[in-house]
Amino acid sequence: MFTRRKLTEERAETFLHLLENGNTITSICAALGIDTSTYRHYRLTHPEFAQQVDDIKKARELLVEDALYAAAMSGNVKAQIFWLCNRAPERWRSARVEEITGAGGGPLVQEVIQRVIVKRSTESSGGTEPSPA
């Protein structure tokens, strides 16, 4: 049976090194033989470690941001659209027009319900349509 280990200071240093090299938290935990809940607990009880993890994640995020920008500048249209839609959403946004219909392209259920209500109101008023309110 596989026994989970504690996250010692030595393993924490290895954890940070592996994270800096692009590994995921889940894969690092598996490689070190610790559960992800052990990692989360260690983060809560070791604020300096938590700060180091956050700093590494931020640095990795900046690398991806730089790569996205480089792709956009090299002519990647999808990267350009993504960059502009997220950096200047007031000027660049995906405009979408959607038409919603009921089953088989028919009317929405709400319209069917409204017709039933009108029909029943007409029947209960002796055959005259109710006056609009």
Give the torsion through C-alpha atoms of 25, 26, 29, 31, to 10 deg: -110
Q: What is the pTM of this model?
A: 0.62
Distance of CA 40 to the CA centre of its chain: 21
Q: In this model, does residue 123 exceed pLDDT 90?
A: no
| Predicted local confidence at residue 129, as pLDDT | 58
What average pLDDT does the segment 4-9 reach?
88
| Predicted local confidence at residue 127, as pLDDT | 63
Predicted confidence band of residue 131 (pLDDT cuts 50, 70, 90): low
Render pLDDT for 49-99 as a digit per residue (tens, 0 to 9). 999 999 999 999 999 999 999 999 999 999 999 999 999 988 887 676 666
Render pLDDT for 17-35 as a digit per residue (tens, 0 to 9). 999 999 999 999 999 999 9
| Predicted local confidence at residue 1, as pLDDT | 41
Query: Is the distance from CB of 121 to CB of 130 less than 8 angstroms?
Result: yes
**pLDDT over 70 for what percent of the chain?**
81
Write the single-letter amino acid at 114.
Answer: Q
